[in-house]
Structure formats: structure tokens, C-alpha cells
Amino acid sequence: MQEKQILAILPIHEAEWLQSMLAKEGIDVAATSNIASCRSGCSPTKEVWARPEDVHVIEKIIVNERMQMLADMGANIGLMNQIFDPTAPLATCPACGCTFEPTNYQCSDCGLNFA
């Protein structure tokens, strides 16, 4: 058996979803229960283990999956990278895309507060 390292401690349904998604990509991960990784009041969790050489690929798969999920929800990924600069002449709201003067630290369209 090849050596594996822990990737995450996740709620059971998330660990099993991740294991299933990665299996579709041909990557084998183990999802195991370990009472030692659960703290007081913990909901049931599983440890997700993978081969160290698969970690970089797994990271890319997870990022792509999350980006697709955000796109499916209508999120504008380009807006998410906007940085509020109160010294700039104009700001672009990362929530709604509105362009406004950043003098009041709040988007004039959706009300997102930057204070």
C-alpha cells in the first residue's frame, strides 16, 4: 500500500462527496473515521487521505469544481477579484459590478459596506 497523507477532516457527507468526485477523475482517496480527530461536541467527521503526489492535482480539481459551482450560481468571478481602494477615483463593487466614487465606503447600488 502506498503512503498517504491527510488532506482534511470533513463532515461525513462532504468527505464522501470528495471521495466520489475524485474517483471519477481516477484519484483514489481514503475517507476514514477517527475519534481522535473529533473535538468535544463534534459532528461526525471523516479524515480524507491521499497520496502526496496526488495533492496538487486534487487541489486543481477542487478549485475548478468550486469555480464551476460559483459560475452556475451566477457569480461573476472577475468581480470577486476587485479590491476596494478609497484613494482611487472610481471603485467597482465586487458584489454587483456597479462603478461608484469610493468617498462613502459603500456601494451606491447594492449597499455593500467597505468600512
User: Pick from 105, 69, 82: which is nearest to 95 by CA?
Assistant: 82
User: Pick from 1, 12, 11, 17: which is nearest to 51 by CA?
Assistant: 1
- pTM, two decimals, is 0.62
Report all structural domains of the chain as residue ranges with CATH numbers, in order of start. 5-72 (3.30.70.1530), 76-115 (no CATH)
pLDDT tens for each residue of the chain, 115 residues long: 468 899 899 998 999 999 999 999 999 999 888 877 776 667 888 999 999 999 999 999 999 998 899 888 887 877 877 888 889 999 998 888 899 988 888 898 998 998 8
Residue ranges of E strands in 1-115: 5-11, 30-32, 45-50, 91-92, 99-100
